[in-house]
Structure 1
């Protein structure tokens, strides 16, 4: 190498040395940015990697040889002098000192990185720590700033006081054991008020300037954990700080998910504002993650454990429930933010707890999440998590967990239509390529261009159907869960939400599963242990399938008609009003599909049987249920005009024989041979004016004008909507004719039941006319 090359290398080394010294000085003063510290640390680590590895290898070799010597030594109690000297020499050697120095530098860099946000910010024009700013003076029309340097003694004295105060807070807490009960209570109130002021101050600072005051999150998080808080008020302060920090996060979390930057993006130059925003996002995400870990640690104590019972009046249970509500609030308010899927899976796991309040809180949060999920991303993830936990627990979960599926806004799924269309077009393109030789060049180009345009449309539709993809994935997990429950746990309490879900989502099933699900539903309704509501849901799901794409299925639905006809007399005997209203609502929805939508497939005598039984059960039902049933009967007369023969008393009817009210077969009871004028005449004596109006309207033959006509508001409302309207208004009225019917049964010494109800009420109607 020539003299010029040596001089160049010498200059380069000198510049490098100056740059390193400048970086060290800036780091000591705390003026280095975080990304510069990270870059300097990486360069320094790579520079000393070889030396560190070499020193580590020498240390490992020495330790290995030392162990061999100790193993071969006969006398373990007496060590030779040369071995002791070797220990001393090793500790004083350059390699051992180098390892210690490198480790010390790494620990120092780590501490500097962790405490960077706690260091005081320095702005242009701001005086140093050892300078006290005085009032300015005016000289010749100009303001002159004055300052005074603080002596080192006073500055060191202040620092020593701060260090001593910090040490006292960390190591000691005041002893109040010598105070009386009244003084102790007063002291506790003072400490709580001081903690409230500190919490409110941190929260206000964060809400006012979140990017400049992110270090306040650390203070609040330490108070949540009970650190640096006196044991006298630790429990109260923990609860206050946790509730406050949740609300702070809800208010300062941005409206987007924070993405972690890659190494290349970090090394790129950024604007000052962009760098500040990136530092704020990373700090916020770090403390948000730590807070979620703190909440998770608390709520895991609510999970079921063997021979472990957590008392509800303990602080552990109270803090765990507060943490659970905090997680629910964060999930609902910031479902778009990071870690939302982690919170969802945690709440699904907590829904298997043995505490009913915990299950209700988790399921309510999941229901609100699914109801507000427009993109269906959370619905897909939640359905997958619930399906996994049902499989893991072997269906031993709460029915409320499966009821959360009903809140999902899934209206459409991808049943493979787009995939088939794409495969068809690709096959057509292959066939076109084979026929290329037999076609002219212009004709081939024209057909190929048309085919490529169709393919682009299909591919564009696939790329735009992200919501459809999430909906399809969610329904796949939902149906897998439903089929698992029907197959393995047909007698469990899970059957109600499963059948209700099937009746809601049955139209989203693929056609190839229709035969299997219909046969499974037919076997379910034959079981005697089934509740009335579950059986009605079962029939409703079957007719949803048969009324949609399952029209072509070769299935005789008479078994479902007969089941509903038999179940109708059980509805009035339900003692719980809420459950009875649900049964009537599902029954009217089911009858609408059975009789109105399938009016071409159902016989007139079968419809007449349902009309007769519906009118009979009206006499022992509340007025809002009677209104809904009469509105449903009106739709039957509209879709089946020939039913008007039942309104003409004294005329000959088409059917032969007498009406048999005790027969539970709608095709064999000869309902068309009787009239319904007697039932409607008695209902005209009802106390509810809306019931009287509908009864007169039916008895008059559904006139569109005159005294017996009804308004468009009443005629256009769905029958089951009357039940929902009364449920929202919390209307709970008693059956108007129930006392008269009870007195009649008492005189006749008859016990009214679902089996003899129609016969007894037919005889009672004669006495009322």
Structure 2
């Protein structure tokens, strides 16, 4: 009796030992099956090895004196005699392994379930069905929010529902997955496990976390691919498809802040940028929201990783669309906050140490001070190395961002896309001073060509604005360049400014911008919104004059006299506010060049000959022989402020000649 109990105990110990070995193998992740898509589909076998039918048990017995393909069936009794039944065996196809058959069955079950779900969703349009669908989705979302690692199957099911052909099921599931992924995905990228890591032995918690992360990344990728596919829907498609496309675009915008640091962020950026680069983006109701989301992300980016990826995709997409985009897409680059403190020629600065007062120091022994000094030295070295790595990576990203941005600006200028010129020039005035000398020369040459190709004598209002922007940007690039130790010849820009002043004086909208409230011209075209630089033409004129005479070395006595005479002629037609601003500029100009005061009197003539009003350049106008007789007309101006300014300049000119 005792030996029987001992044998039972030994058998139980062996069985428990075998189960522990199997559990340890399962925890190590050796028996993971990649062929099965979802982990909840893999059903563990409930039967033990002893209960399963073995291969030798399936083989039929061999009958002596009969062919090998014959088998014996159950005997039959005829009368009092029992006869054996031997028949030819039917042809049986070779069976696969148990695991393969189980996998096939499970895959078939999944396909059947999906087909039944599709059939059910096809009729899920009644109010009761929609309510039941909402409750089902809410239950799945609640399970995921409660414990995402335990209920990863609910996430998979909800993602599959988002791929349903029924519009209601797809729409509600897409919307439900937005807050789920925003709360579940971490703020770092999850890398795939290597083969060695998959085979190593880990604890149950680590295996559970790895399984959750694997399914999370897989479902998230499927979700992003679905949103990208729906977001590509053209505006000419079916109304339901367009609505689903707008819903997918909204989902991408909502996920953008959280998804920028997670896996597949490039796919999210690409889907949004391709959507806003459509030929007619203003017809898209989500367009402004997507542009604002990208601008916010660029403003909040510190290390430049996301900014570099966005700029790279944006430059590639704009080039593929032959620069046929809206200017607000290009204005996104003006939100690059990471370039604000970038200077290609700066050196590393030493970090200042904060000293602790003697009364605040803790009392330590000689041995403790020695240990603390050694530890402090090690910490400082590690901190300095970490800061150096981060700073180097940030500077590298900044350099790449600047390279892509300036290359895009230069290509647009060479293509001469009229509606993007203003945005490009505004971007150059902000980032152009960071360019090297070669690239700076290319920009100035392209802007010279733009001005040369324009007929300065007969310019439309938009062309006048483009010329003024080119002039202001050129002077801004040269004046703000940190390594500019030599003077560049900007005579062509000065001559262009001199030639464009008469056209400005007769421009009825010289003081208006697109934000100005006014009645539309019934005989004119629609109001065109200018570039991101919303300054009026009068403001651009004064900025250009300020650059020529006070912020560069382009000013001279001859040019001061020529511009003074031309500005007085222009004031006979300009509005009140513009005339007052020009008078203030002339007062400032007379302080720097007192010789201008000689133009106010015929007795104090500085040069010989006659003044050439029709000359296109200041050098050919013989401005020293001119006389500012427009004072007489300006003294009869309807504005008291203009009359007062004119009298003040006249008195100042008399004082400057004494």
Q: TM-score range by the shorter chain?
A: 0.5 to 0.7
Structure 2 vs 1, CA of residues 167 and 365 (structure 1 numbering), >3 Å: closer, same or farther? closer
1:512 maps to 2:512 = no
Q: 2:217 aligns with which of 285, 289, 303?
A: 285
Task: Give RMSD over aligned pairs.
Answer: 5.2
Q: 2:513 aligns with which of 577, 580, 587?
A: 577
1:542 maps to 2:542 = no
Q: Which residue of 2 aligns with 1:411?
A: 340
> Which SS does the other structure have where 1:497 is aligned?
helix
Q: Which residue of 2 aligns with 1:557?
A: 490
Structure 2 vs 1, CA of residues 199 and 644 (structure 1 numbering), >3 Å: closer, same or farther? farther
Deviation at 1:343, TM superposition (A): 1.6
Tell me, in whole angstroms, the C-alpha distance in 2 between the residues paired with 1:591 and 1:213. 69
Tell me, in whole angstroms, the C-alpha distance in 2 between the residues paired with 1:43 and 1:364. 41
> Which SS does the other structure have where 1:40 is aligned?
coil
Q: Which residue of 2 aligns with 1:326?
A: 251
Deviation at 1:528, TM superposition (A): 1.9
Q: 2:394 aligns with which of 441, 444, 467?
A: 467
Structure-to-structure mapping, 1:704-719, within 5 angstroms: none
Deviation at 1:561, TM superposition (A): 1.0
1:483 maps to 2:410 = yes
Q: Which residue of 2 aligns with 1:670?
A: 623
User: 1:728-765: per-residue Cα shift (whole Å, max 9, x none)?
Assistant: xxxxxxxxxxxxxxxxxxxxxxxxxxxxxxxxxxxxxx
Tell me, in whole angstroms, the C-alpha distance in 2 between the residues paired with 1:377 and 1:292. 20
Deviation at 1:602, TM superposition (A): 0.7
Tell me, in whole angstroms, the C-alpha distance in 2 between the residues paired with 1:192 and 1:622. 65
Decide whether the 8 Å contact of 2:560 with 2:589 is kept in 1. no
Tell me, in whole angstroms, the C-alpha distance in 1 between the residues paired with 2:236 and 2:35. 54
Deviation at 1:470, TM superposition (A): 1.0
Q: Which residue of 1 aligns with 2:279?
A: 354
Deviation at 1:511, TM superposition (A): 1.5
Decide whether the 8 Å contact of 2:635 with 2:646 is kept in 1. no
Tell me, in whole angstroms, the C-alpha distance in 1 between the residues paired with 2:209 and 2:391. 32
Decide whether the 8 Å contact of 1:413 with 1:468 is kept in 2. yes
> Which SS does the other structure have where 1:337 is aligned?
coil
Deviation at 1:638, TM superposition (A): 4.7
Decide whether the 8 Å contact of 1:637 with 1:643 is kept in 2. no
Structure 2 vs 1, CA of residues 105 and 484 (structure 1 numbering), >3 Å: closer, same or farther? same
> Which SS does the other structure have where 2:29 is aligned?
helix
User: 1:129-184: per-residue Cα shift (whole Å, max 9, x none)?
Assistant: xxxxxxxxxxxxxxxxxxxxxxxxxxxxxxxxxx9x999756557979xxxxxxxx
Decide whether the 8 Å contact of 2:118 with 2:164 is kept in 1. no
Decide whether the 8 Å contact of 2:565 with 2:627 is kept in 1. no
Structure 2 vs 1, CA of residues 190 and 486 (structure 1 numbering), >3 Å: closer, same or farther? same
Deviation at 1:295, TM superposition (A): 0.6
Structure 2 vs 1, CA of residues 618 and 368 (structure 1 numbering), >3 Å: closer, same or farther? farther
Q: Which residue of 1 aligns with 2:374?
A: none
Q: Which residue of 1 aligns with 2:159?
A: 221
> Which SS does the other structure have where 2:164 is aligned?
coil
Tell me, in whole angstroms, the C-alpha distance in 1 between the residues paired with 2:242 and 2:402. 36
1:188 maps to 2:126 = yes
Structure 2 vs 1, CA of residues 197 and 106 (structure 1 numbering), >3 Å: closer, same or farther? closer
Decide whether the 8 Å contact of 1:418 with 1:458 is kept in 2. no
Higher helix share: 1
Tell me, in whole angstroms, the C-alpha distance in 2 between the residues paired with 1:684 and 1:546. 40
Tell me, in whole angstroms, the C-alpha distance in 2 between the residues paired with 1:617 and 1:695. 16
Q: Which residue of 2 aligns with 1:344?
A: 269
Tell me, in whole angstroms, the C-alpha distance in 2 between the residues paired with 1:460 and 1:505. 26
Deviation at 1:508, TM superposition (A): 1.5
Tell me, in whole angstroms, the C-alpha distance in 2 between the residues paired with 1:300 and 1:16. 61
Structure 2 vs 1, CA of residues 42 and 276 (structure 1 numbering), >3 Å: closer, same or farther? closer
Q: Which residue of 2 aligns with 1:38?
A: 29
Structure-to-structure mapping, 1:200-279, within 5 angstroms: 200-203=138-141, 206-207=144-145, 210-211=148-149, 213-226=151-164, 234-263=166-195, 267=200, 269-270=202-203, 272=205, 278-279=210-211
Deviation at 1:199, TM superposition (A): 4.0
Structure 2 vs 1, CA of residues 546 and 44 (structure 1 numbering), >3 Å: closer, same or farther? closer
Tell me, in whole angstroms, the C-alpha distance in 2 between the residues paired with 1:401 and 1:329. 19
Tell me, in whole angstroms, the C-alpha distance in 2 between the residues paired with 1:617 and 1:197. 73
Decide whether the 8 Å contact of 1:412 with 1:508 is kept in 2. no
1:297 maps to 2:247 = no
Q: Which residue of 1 aligns with 2:426?
A: 500
1:597 maps to 2:551 = yes
Decide whether the 8 Å contact of 1:525 with 1:535 is kept in 2. yes
1:103 maps to 2:29 = no
> Which SS does the other structure have where 1:577 is aligned?
coil
Tell me, in whole angstroms, the C-alpha distance in 1 between the residues paired with 2:310 and 2:35. 46
Structure-to-structure mapping, 1:74-223, within 5 angstroms: 91=92, 96-97=94-95, 99-104=96-101, 171-172=119-120, 188-203=126-141, 206-207=144-145, 210-211=148-149, 213-223=151-161
Decide whether the 8 Å contact of 2:27 with 2:207 is kept in 1. no
Structure 2 vs 1, CA of residues 497 and 676 (structure 1 numbering), >3 Å: closer, same or farther? same
Q: 2:314 aligns with which of 376, 381, 386?
A: 386
Unaligned 5+ segments in structure 2 are: 1-9, 37-66, 72-87, 349-383, 456-461, 515-529, 650-658
> Which SS does the other structure have where 2:549 is aligned?
helix
Tell me, in whole angstroms, the C-alpha distance in 2 between the residues paired with 1:388 and 1:255. 27
Deviation at 1:527, TM superposition (A): 0.8
Structure 2 vs 1, CA of residues 215 and 485 (structure 1 numbering), >3 Å: closer, same or farther? same
Q: Which residue of 2 aligns with 1:335?
A: 260
State the structure with bigger RCO (CA 8 A, min sep 6), 1 or 2: 2
Q: TM-score, normalised by structure 2?
A: 0.63
Tell me, in whole angstroms, the C-alpha distance in 2 between the residues paired with 1:367 and 1:666. 44
Give the length in aligned residue pairs: 526
Unaligned 5+ segments in structure 1 are: 1-11, 27-31, 46-80, 115-162, 177-186, 228-233, 303-309, 420-456, 687-691, 702-769
Deviation at 1:290, TM superposition (A): 1.7
Deviation at 1:407, TM superposition (A): 2.5
Tell me, in whole angstroms, the C-alpha distance in 2 between the residues paired with 1:88 and 1:699. 124
Q: TM-score, normalised by structure 1?
A: 0.55
1:641 maps to 2:591 = yes
Tell me, in whole angstroms, the C-alpha distance in 1 between the residues paired with 2:615 and 2:536. 26
Decide whether the 8 Å contact of 1:647 with 1:699 is kept in 2. no
Decide whether the 8 Å contact of 2:162 with 2:173 is kept in 1. yes
Structure 2 vs 1, CA of residues 315 and 403 (structure 1 numbering), >3 Å: closer, same or farther? same
